[in-house]
């Protein structure tokens, strides 16, 4: 086996979870070409080994400090959830649908955290009846809604208060802290919220939950956020007047997508852990709390590949276009239409023509009748034609379920999990 050309951005990313044999890119030891023939295109492929590695490397970096809950909105496929639960992760959900998926994947109710700015009565009622680790309170109406639903129950409802931090947290692609947000309660107004929850017999107020931003690649910034979260937790505990049981510091750990981005430095993140542990231990009201982080993207993004086949290669006024059977209806994020401010290309490869030098710069268009349907704008590739495959890397998170699958009536892609040298269809 040879490694992938390390000089291209796609090659640098592919080198970690994937290998190359002859002309073929292999995922979990199986040529992508073979998977495309067996399961048809377009398809998503997820590599269980890569997910396990991501989980275990993070767990090692945070050892002695924080437990990991997988935020399943990144990829709610039950086979994917099952892999991470198997590594010891809890889960974080944001709807009753996700609760059902987590349970069907084997998550124990007490290991499920339920966030989300708009939880309906039916959702709250179901998780309270069936069991939940914590509901993260995000509005006064939600507090009252749970009170009404839980009236007459003897067991208190386990909750934490979600807060929107004051600190403008730099470095994330979509910053959620420090500015107005529909999520949780503003940090500045927490005292009133704490008093409101404490005044009710309905709740077992266990802790706090902060989520400051997503796609953060700088370990120092993450550690800074977490230190802020611990400090706020201490203040909340003092207002409550007793120790906290949980402190949820959120997700947001980034992965590299674009040229010039480097992977989150886990060794550097680990170097912050002793100071974070010391800060937590210094306060008797936070000392015994279970600290949680809840990444989504970091755990599953690098493990996934989206594969499509070229239907036509054409030139329009001097520009090269590859039209494929896959597009934004399956992979909105790669098309740059999932909240990105600047549209930059995800790493793209020709997974069955790996040995060849990139000789063409092509736009990769999907089959939809809209100019938004572009999987890449300037992909450097061999000169591909009808029948050739393209693969979009870093596609395991915010892929299929974050895409407008119904738009234009094309079929859903297959989802395939590769594990232990075997590939199996895991589409729902």
Q: Are 20 and 390 in contact (CB under 8 A)?
A: no
Cα 321 to chain centroid distance, Å, stands at: 31
At its nearest, how many Å lie between ligand PLP and the CB of residue 295? 4
Contact present, 69 and 88 (Cβ < 8 Å): no
Tell how strand 174-175 and strand 213-214 pair up. antiparallel
**The Cα angle at residue 214 between residues 87 and 98, in degrees rounded to 5:** 55
77 binds ligand PLP (CB under 6 A): no
- 399 in contact with ligand PLP (CB under 6 A): no
Cα-Cα end-to-end distance for the chain: 34
Which H helix or E strand runs over 59? helix 48-61
What burial class does residue 386 get, using C-beta atoms within 10 Å of its C-beta: 0-12 exposed, 13-18 middle, 19+ buried? exposed
Q: How far is the CB of 265 from ligand PLP (least distance, A)?
A: 17
Angstrom distances, CA of residue 86 to CA of 70, 112, 396, 401, 415 = 11, 15, 18, 22, 20
Q: Is 119 in the site for ligand PLP (CB under 6 A)?
A: no
Report the residue number, 31 or 116, with the smaller CB distance to ligand PLP: 116
Site string for ligand PLP, 204-223 (x = CB under 6 A): -------x--x---------
Cβ closest to ligand PLP, residue 8 vs residue 340: 340
Q: Pick the binder of ligand PLP from 27, 74, 91, 328 (CB under 6 A).
A: 74
Binder among 41, 54, 71, 75 for ligand PLP (CB under 6 A): 71
Residue 198, helix vs strand vs coil: helix
Identity of the residue, 88 or 385, whose beta carbon is nearer to ligand PLP in the bound complex:
88
9 vs 184 by CB, closer to ligand PLP? 184
- Judged by CB under 6 A, the number of residues near ligand PLP is 17
- Contact (CB, 8 A) for 12 and 261: no
Phi/psi class of residue 192: alpha, beta or left (left: φ > 0; alpha: ψ in -120 to 50)? Answer: alpha
**List 11, 19, 90, 92, residue binding ligand PLP (CB under 6 A):** 92
Cβ 251 to ligand PLP shortest distance, Å: 3
Token digits of residue 110: 């007490």
Q: Select 303 or 362, whichever has its Cβ closest to ligand PLP.
A: 303
Question: Is 11 a residue that touches ligand PLP (CB under 6 A)?
Answer: no
346 binds ligand PLP (CB under 6 A): no
CB closer to ligand PLP out of 115 and 374:
115
- For ligand PLP, what does the binding mask look like between residues 293 and 332, x meaning CB under 6 A? -xxxxx----------------------------------
Query: What residues from 247 to 276 belong to the interface with ligand PLP (CB under 6 A)?
Result: 250-253
| Residue 349: both structure tokens together | 């490869």
Stretch of residues binding ligand PLP (CB under 6 A), selected from 40-48, 71-79, 280-288, 342-350: 71-79
- Cα distances from 237 to residues 284, 384, 421, in angstroms, run 10, 61, 49
Which residues lie near ligand PLP (CB under 6 A)?
A: 71, 73-74, 92, 94, 115, 211, 214, 250-253, 294-298
């Amino acid at each position: 086996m040879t490694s992938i050309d390390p000089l291209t951005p796609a090659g640098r990313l592919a080198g970690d979870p994937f290998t190359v044999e002859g002309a073929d890119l292999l995922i979990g030891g199986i040529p992508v070409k073979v998977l495309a023939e067996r399961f048809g295109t377009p398809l998503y492929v997820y590599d269980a080994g890569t997910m396990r590695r991501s989980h275990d490397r993070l767990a090692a970096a945070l050892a002695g400090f924080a437990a990991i809950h997988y935020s399943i909105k990144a990829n709610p496929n039950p086979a994917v959830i099952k892999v991470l639960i198997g590594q010891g992760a809890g889960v974080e959900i944001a709807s009753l649908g996700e609760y059902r998926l987590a349970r069907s994947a084997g998550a124990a109710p007490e290991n499920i955290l339920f966030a989300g700015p708009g939880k309906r009565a039916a959702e709250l009622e179901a998780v309270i009846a069936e069991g939940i680790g914590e509901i993260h309170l995000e509005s006064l109406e939600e507090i009252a809604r749970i009170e009404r639903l839980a009236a007459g129950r003897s067991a208190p409802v386990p909750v934490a208060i979600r807060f929107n931090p004051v600190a403008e947290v730099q470095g994330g692609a979509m910053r959620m802290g420090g500015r107005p947000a529909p999520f949780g309660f503003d940090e500045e107004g927490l005292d009133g919220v704490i008093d409101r929850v404490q005044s009710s017999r309905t709740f077992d107020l266990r802790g706090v939950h902060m989520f400051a931003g997503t796609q953060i690649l700088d370990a120092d910034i993450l550690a800074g956020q977490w230190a802020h979260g611990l400090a706020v937790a201490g203040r909340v505990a003092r207002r409550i007047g007793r120790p906290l049981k949980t402190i949820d510091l959120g997700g947001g750990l980034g992965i590299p997508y674009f040229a010039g981005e480097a992977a989150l430095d886990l060794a550097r993140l680990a170097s912050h852990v002793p100071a974070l542990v010391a800060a937590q231990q210094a306060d008797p009201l936070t000392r015994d709390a279970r600290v949680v982080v809840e990444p989504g993207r970091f755990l599953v993004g690098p493990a996934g590949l989206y594969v499509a086949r070229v239907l036509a290669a054409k030139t329009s006024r001097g520009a090269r276009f590859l039209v494929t059977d896959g597009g934004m209806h399956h992979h909105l994020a790669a098309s740059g239409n999932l909240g990105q401010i600047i549209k930059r290309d995800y790493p793209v490869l020709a997974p069955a023509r790996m040995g060849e030098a990139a000789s063409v710069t092509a736009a990769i268009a999907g089959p939809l009748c809209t100019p938004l349907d572009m999987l890449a704008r300037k992909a450097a590739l061999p000169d591909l034609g009808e029948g050739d495959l393209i693969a979009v890397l870093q596609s395991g998170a915010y892929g299929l379920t974050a895409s407008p699958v119904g738009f234009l009536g094309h079929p859903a892609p297959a989802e395939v999990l590769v594990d232990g040298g075997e590939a199996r269809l895991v589409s729902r």
